[in-house]
Amino acid sequence: MIGQFSRTGRYGWLSLLLWLLMVAPALALELRVAIGTASSEVTVGSSTPARILDAANRPLANLQPLEGVTARSIPGGVSLQQVKSSRLWIEPGEGGYVFIGDRWYRGKVKLAQTDKGLIAVNYVNLEDYLASVVGKEMYPSWPAEALKAQAVAARSFALYRRQVQQRQPGSLFDLGDTVISQVYTGVESEFPSTEAAATATRGQVLTHGGRIVEAVFHSASGGFTENSENVWSKPVPYLRSVPDFDQESPSRQWSVSLTSVQLKQRLPGVGNIISLRPVRVSPQGRVMTMQVIGDKGSQTISGAQLRRALGLRSTLFTATPQMGLVAATGNAPTLPESFLFSGRGHGHGLGMSQWGAYGMAKQGYGYQQILQHYYQGTTLTTLQAD
């Protein structure tokens, strides 16, 4: 049953007000997004004349437009052309874009040294960031209500992660640019429809108990989303299992066959794989833990670990051995030639299903209803910036 949208919510305004006072400046500030991973060097540039600033925000040099230059990691800092500092900023002129790696981004970039190498951090306005994220996380041609739901979920997730990261001493960024956070590719994934979704929902976030929620999402659940404790081992009140509307998802059902050689390579330490036995399975059918039995031992791993190791779309699957080979020793068990993995859904199964949001929007549901269905007991709240 889809919950009714309530703008006022059920929680005391005092706790919500205290939270708003904490996060309202976030709307006026920039998000810090790490672009790519740490490396020894990165190519940067600007679409307009830009300033190169040091860690104290003092101008050091100018950068000509459309001139790609290489920033390099050096002991204790960063070098760019003839400029060296513990940290460097590239700040484009008005209306300019910054180039990082192989893409254009709004805002500016900070180059900093870490123990893993040089990292480029894009400082970008929250709403500009969302126009790009929505365009990468969903098809821009999808119904407007689905895009709006994605914008609110992405905004909530970003501000939640921003709060978490700012508690960490020396934190350099709030989010990454991959699926581990939210996929962000800068200007190339901005579209009129995704900009409209961000604008129409400007400042709107999901709250629970007066706090912005960690509004995780995934591609498709395969029929039912999952309770958080079956994935994260901790219950989250707004991440409850609900029926999905993902009937049109290309991952509604899937199958993949892996040979015994592939399994041995991807699941080392137990020899040739004899069987895969589910130890714990969620009520929705997701593998929580699996015993991997081989001819040289066995081990029990989580469903998430198994999914990553085998490259499966989700943990909602069954594994069927396909028999063929016989071990050389006469008393050894018959070894499967391959395993057939038959599953449903794509992703961890928590929170909003993107294909489910698409399905609900096509059926006429508004983005508020979509969000309240997938994030149970939450309230849609508009943050006011100073």
Structural element, H or E, at residue 27: helix 13-28
Q: Give mean pLDDT, residues 14-18.
A: 39
Does residue 129 have a pLDDT over 60?
yes
Q: How far apart are CA 158 and CA 125, in angstroms?
A: 12
Q: Give mean pLDDT, residues 87-94.
A: 95
Closest CA to 217 of 204, 205, 226, 209: 226
Q: How far apart are CA 59 and CA 1, in angstroms?
A: 58
Confidence band, pLDDT 50/70/90 cuts, at residue 46: very high
Q: For residue 20, what pLDDT is reported? A: 40
Above pLDDT 90, what percent of the chain?
Answer: 84
Closest CA to 150 of 221, 223, 201, 222: 201
Q: How far apart are CA 240 and CA 114, in angstroms?
A: 38
Q: Which residues of 324-358 are buried (b: 16+ CB within 10 A; e: fewer)?
A: eeeeeeeeeeebbebbebebbbbbbbbbbbbbbbb
Q: For residue 324, what pLDDT is reported? A: 65
Q: Express each pLDDT in 308-366 by its tens digit.
A: 999 999 999 999 999 865 555 555 557 899 999 999 999 999 999 999 999 999 999 99
Q: For residue 29, what pLDDT is reported? A: 63
Q: Give mean pLDDT, residues 232-260.
A: 96
Q: Give mean pLDDT, residues 276-299.
A: 96
Does residue 144 have a pLDDT over 50?
yes
Q: Express each pLDDT in 178-225 by its tens digit.
A: 999 999 999 999 999 999 999 999 999 999 999 999 999 999 999 999
Token pair of 376, please? Answer: 């149970």
Within 10 Å of residue 120's Cβ, how many Cβ atoms?
26
Q: For residue 12, what pLDDT is reported? A: 34
Q: For residue 78, what pLDDT is reported? A: 95
Q: For residue 11, what pLDDT is reported? A: 35
This prediction's pTM: 0.88
Q: Where are the domains of the chain?
A: 254-343
Residue 174: alpha-carbon gap to chain centroid = 12
